[in-house]
Amino acid sequence: MSVITQNEESTSVEVLKPQEVVSPAAPVTPARRSSSRAGTAWQITNHLLYVLPPFILAVILCFAWYMGTTAGRVNALILPAPGAVFASLATGVTSGLYLEHFLITVQESLSGFLLAVVLALPIGYGIAKSRLIAHTLQPYLAAGQAIPSIVIAPFLFLWLGEGSLSVIVICMLVVLFPMVVNTIFGVQTIERELVDAARLEGAYGWSLLAHIEFPLALPSVLAAVRTSLTLSITGALVGEFFCSPDRGLGALLLMAQQQYNMAFMFATVIILAVLAAIYYSASWLLVKLAEMIY
């Protein structure tokens, strides 16, 4: 009997003992290594194809610029030498001249841009949701867009006087219409079924706008923001040409033109290009942040 008990105990122990299933790690085969290397090489090639063409084009243009001015084939009053342009740029940067006027243009362009955002979003939403608002405002928006800002600038100079306020208003007018149009498009392209389903769930008014309509219209709004943020620099320059001839990067361009200083003018254009690149990068980061949130 004792033998049988021992057998039964051993049998029960064998049955109750858990069996661990160990899955061995997949071996790294030469084919897998070659495929991963091929994927990495493709990514590097893709990045190079994205960066190299504009870089090569810039090198070619700079070389042609240098050769044309060094050989004396182009008059310096038309196209200054690269050395003169970068010397003027270095002088303006080290003296603080560019920083002072750079900050003024940034302040004016961002103020006009933010003012346009505050006005364009509710106007675009109202036009998209109400026929009465659309019929009331759309003719004036179309007429305002048809009239160039360079024509409106002298009127604002006479009404508001010289200074940053006139520049901000001109910048706002330049930015306003594209943002309104994109906001209207974003709201009108929302699927009606999604809105009806949200209303069946009890979403009305602000909750419907905040949780359904705004996230769905956000891609169009962000596209308008990316375009308008860079366009605000144009509005600021136009305003500075007419309403603030002694402040901002536009004033530096006028000064360089009056002095026939082409090197100074080219250097100021380079600063404007840097500002445009900063605005474009900031708008790109804003789009990525919105994609992470929504």
Q: What is the average pLDDT across 133-141?
A: 88
Mean pLDDT lowest for which of 11-20, 84-93, 202-211?
Answer: 11-20
The fraction of the chain above a pLDDT of 90, given in percent, is: 30
Contact 117, 111 (CB under 8 A): no
Nearest-angstrom CA–CA distance, 284 and 277? 10
Regarding predicted confidence, which is higher, 111 or 227?
A: 111
Domains and CATH numbers, the chain: 82-293 (1.10.3720.10)
pLDDT at 8 over 70: no
* pLDDT band, residue 106 (cuts 50/70/90): very high
* pLDDT band, residue 12 (cuts 50/70/90): very low
Assessment of whether the complete model's pTM goes beyond 0.85: no
Q: What is the average pLDDT across 119-125?
A: 91
**Residue-level pLDDT at 29:** 57
